[in-house]
Amino acid sequence: MENRTAAIYQLLETVMDPEIPTISLVDLGIVTGVEWDDENPHVKLTPTFSGCPALRVMEQLVHEKLKASGFDNPKVSTSFEVAWNSNMISEKGLAALKKHGLAPPPKHAGYIELDVLSDIACPLCDSRNTTMQTPFGPTLCRSMHYCKNCHNAFEAFKPVT
Protein backbone atom coordinates (compact mmCIF):
# COMPACT_ATOMS: atom_id res chain seq x y z
CA MET A 1 0.00 0.00 0.00
CA GLU A 2 1.22 3.48 -0.89
CA ASN A 3 2.28 5.55 2.12
CA ARG A 4 -0.28 8.24 1.48
CA THR A 5 -3.04 5.62 1.16
CA ALA A 6 -1.95 3.99 4.40
CA ALA A 7 -2.14 7.42 6.00
CA ILE A 8 -5.79 7.75 4.89
CA TYR A 9 -6.63 4.38 6.43
CA GLN A 10 -4.96 5.52 9.64
CA LEU A 11 -6.99 8.71 9.57
CA LEU A 12 -10.24 6.83 9.02
CA GLU A 13 -9.51 4.65 12.04
CA THR A 14 -10.66 7.70 13.96
CA VAL A 15 -14.02 7.92 12.17
CA MET A 16 -16.51 5.92 14.20
CA ASP A 17 -19.70 4.16 13.16
CA PRO A 18 -22.53 6.60 13.96
CA GLU A 19 -24.63 3.86 15.57
CA ILE A 20 -21.83 1.89 17.29
CA PRO A 21 -19.35 4.53 18.46
CA THR A 22 -16.72 2.01 19.64
CA ILE A 23 -15.89 0.72 16.15
CA SER A 24 -14.16 2.64 13.37
CA LEU A 25 -15.25 2.42 9.75
CA VAL A 26 -11.90 0.78 8.92
CA ASP A 27 -12.36 -1.93 11.56
CA LEU A 28 -15.94 -2.46 10.43
CA GLY A 29 -14.43 -3.37 7.06
CA ILE A 30 -16.44 -0.97 4.92
CA VAL A 31 -13.50 1.08 3.60
CA THR A 32 -12.63 -0.82 0.44
CA GLY A 33 -10.09 1.40 -1.24
CA VAL A 34 -8.53 4.78 -1.81
CA GLU A 35 -7.82 6.24 -5.24
CA TRP A 36 -5.97 9.46 -5.92
CA ASP A 37 -6.87 12.38 -8.11
CA ASP A 38 -3.60 14.31 -7.93
CA GLU A 39 -3.45 15.39 -4.32
CA ASN A 40 -7.05 14.49 -3.47
CA PRO A 41 -8.11 11.11 -2.10
CA HIS A 42 -11.21 9.30 -3.31
CA VAL A 43 -12.37 6.98 -0.55
CA LYS A 44 -14.57 4.05 -1.50
CA LEU A 45 -17.04 2.57 0.93
CA THR A 46 -19.29 -0.48 0.71
CA PRO A 47 -22.57 -0.79 2.64
CA THR A 48 -23.02 -3.42 5.36
CA PHE A 49 -26.68 -3.73 4.31
CA SER A 50 -28.24 -2.28 1.13
CA GLY A 51 -30.86 -0.53 3.24
CA CYS A 52 -28.52 0.80 5.93
CA PRO A 53 -29.72 4.34 6.73
CA ALA A 54 -26.39 5.23 8.39
CA LEU A 55 -24.59 5.06 5.05
CA ARG A 56 -25.08 8.71 4.02
CA VAL A 57 -23.99 9.83 7.49
CA MET A 58 -20.84 7.70 7.17
CA GLU A 59 -20.02 9.24 3.78
CA GLN A 60 -20.45 12.67 5.31
CA LEU A 61 -18.29 11.87 8.35
CA VAL A 62 -15.48 10.62 6.11
CA HIS A 63 -15.75 13.69 3.92
CA GLU A 64 -15.60 16.03 6.91
CA LYS A 65 -12.60 14.20 8.35
CA LEU A 66 -10.69 14.47 5.07
CA LYS A 67 -11.53 18.17 4.74
CA ALA A 68 -10.44 18.81 8.32
CA SER A 69 -7.17 17.06 7.57
CA GLY A 70 -6.32 19.54 4.85
CA PHE A 71 -7.57 17.93 1.64
CA ASP A 72 -9.30 20.59 -0.47
CA ASN A 73 -11.42 18.41 -2.65
CA PRO A 74 -11.75 14.86 -1.30
CA LYS A 75 -14.28 12.45 -2.76
CA VAL A 76 -16.27 9.74 -1.00
CA SER A 77 -18.43 7.24 -2.80
CA THR A 78 -20.28 4.04 -2.04
CA SER A 79 -20.46 1.08 -4.38
CA PHE A 80 -21.16 -2.63 -4.39
CA GLU A 81 -17.89 -3.41 -6.18
CA VAL A 82 -16.68 -5.18 -3.06
CA ALA A 83 -19.60 -6.84 -1.27
CA TRP A 84 -19.24 -6.50 2.48
CA ASN A 85 -19.61 -9.56 4.66
CA SER A 86 -19.18 -9.89 8.41
CA ASN A 87 -15.83 -11.72 8.09
CA MET A 88 -14.42 -8.36 6.97
CA ILE A 89 -14.65 -6.95 10.51
CA SER A 90 -11.12 -6.82 11.99
CA GLU A 91 -10.10 -8.50 15.26
CA LYS A 92 -9.95 -5.07 16.81
CA GLY A 93 -13.42 -4.40 15.45
CA LEU A 94 -14.85 -7.59 16.96
CA ALA A 95 -13.50 -6.53 20.36
CA ALA A 96 -14.96 -3.04 19.87
CA LEU A 97 -18.42 -4.49 19.20
CA LYS A 98 -18.23 -6.47 22.40
CA LYS A 99 -17.18 -3.36 24.28
CA HIS A 100 -20.39 -1.73 23.07
CA GLY A 101 -22.37 -4.68 24.49
CA LEU A 102 -22.95 -6.37 21.14
CA ALA A 103 -22.00 -10.01 20.69
CA PRO A 104 -19.58 -10.08 17.73
CA PRO A 105 -20.56 -12.21 14.71
CA PRO A 106 -18.99 -15.67 14.48
CA LYS A 107 -16.73 -16.21 11.43
CA HIS A 108 -18.67 -18.00 8.72
CA ALA A 109 -17.67 -20.21 5.83
CA GLY A 110 -19.82 -18.50 3.21
CA TYR A 111 -23.24 -19.70 4.35
CA ILE A 112 -25.42 -19.05 7.38
CA GLU A 113 -27.92 -21.41 8.96
CA LEU A 114 -30.14 -21.00 11.99
CA ASP A 115 -27.89 -23.02 14.28
CA VAL A 116 -25.02 -20.58 13.65
CA LEU A 117 -27.24 -17.78 14.92
CA SER A 118 -28.22 -19.68 18.04
CA ASP A 119 -24.66 -20.42 19.12
CA ILE A 120 -23.66 -16.96 20.30
CA ALA A 121 -21.69 -16.16 23.46
CA CYS A 122 -23.26 -13.63 25.82
CA PRO A 123 -21.26 -10.37 25.62
CA LEU A 124 -21.89 -9.77 29.34
CA CYS A 125 -20.93 -13.10 30.96
CA ASP A 126 -19.42 -15.07 28.02
CA SER A 127 -21.76 -18.01 28.56
CA ARG A 128 -22.86 -19.91 25.46
CA ASN A 129 -26.06 -20.96 27.23
CA THR A 130 -28.03 -18.46 25.17
CA THR A 131 -30.99 -18.51 22.85
CA MET A 132 -31.86 -16.38 19.84
CA GLN A 133 -35.17 -14.54 20.19
CA THR A 134 -35.28 -13.15 16.68
CA PRO A 135 -32.82 -12.69 13.82
CA PHE A 136 -34.17 -9.16 13.32
CA GLY A 137 -33.31 -6.36 15.72
CA PRO A 138 -33.39 -2.60 16.26
CA THR A 139 -31.09 -2.09 13.25
CA LEU A 140 -30.63 -4.28 10.17
CA CYS A 141 -27.25 -5.53 11.39
CA ARG A 142 -28.43 -6.80 14.78
CA SER A 143 -30.28 -9.85 16.11
CA MET A 144 -31.79 -10.28 19.59
CA HIS A 145 -30.84 -12.95 22.10
CA TYR A 146 -31.35 -14.01 25.70
CA CYS A 147 -28.72 -15.35 28.09
CA LYS A 148 -30.00 -18.19 30.23
CA ASN A 149 -26.95 -17.92 32.46
CA CYS A 150 -26.98 -14.26 33.53
CA HIS A 151 -30.63 -13.67 32.53
CA ASN A 152 -29.93 -10.65 30.39
CA ALA A 153 -31.34 -9.87 26.99
CA PHE A 154 -28.59 -8.86 24.57
CA GLU A 155 -28.06 -7.96 20.94
CA ALA A 156 -25.62 -9.52 18.52
CA PHE A 157 -24.07 -8.16 15.35
CA LYS A 158 -25.39 -10.52 12.68
CA PRO A 159 -23.13 -12.76 10.63
CA VAL A 160 -23.75 -11.92 6.97
CA THR A 161 -22.39 -13.72 3.92
By C-beta, is 84 or 154 nearer to other proteins? 84
Query: By CB under 8 A, what part of segment 116-135 binds other proteins?
Result: 133-135
- Binding of other proteins by 83 (CB under 8 A): yes
Query: By CB under 8 A, what part of segment 1-40 binds other proteins?
Result: none
Span between the terminal Cα atoms of the chain, in Å = 27
Pairing state between β 31-37 and 153-157: unpaired
CB of 59 to other proteins, least distance (A): 14
Burial of 109 (0-12, 13-18, 19+ CB in 10 A): exposed
Contact (CB, 8 A) for 21 and 14 = no
Binding test (CB under 8 A) with other proteins, winner from 51, 68, 70, 109 = 51
Picking from 115, 152, 109, 149, the residue whose alpha carbon sits closest to that of residue 135 is 115
By C-beta, is 3 or 134 nearer to other proteins? 134
DSSP-H helix ranges across 47-127: 55-68, 91-99, 114-118
Binding test (CB under 8 A) with other proteins, winner from 54, 103, 112, 121 = 112
Torsion sign across C-alpha atoms 87, 79, 23, 71: positive
- Binding of other proteins by 60 (CB under 8 A): no
Stretch that binds other proteins, among 16-24, 29-37, 76-84, 98-106 (CB under 8 A): 76-84
The residues binding other proteins (CB under 8 A) are: 47, 49-53, 79-81, 83-85, 111-114, 133-138, 140, 144, 158, 160-161
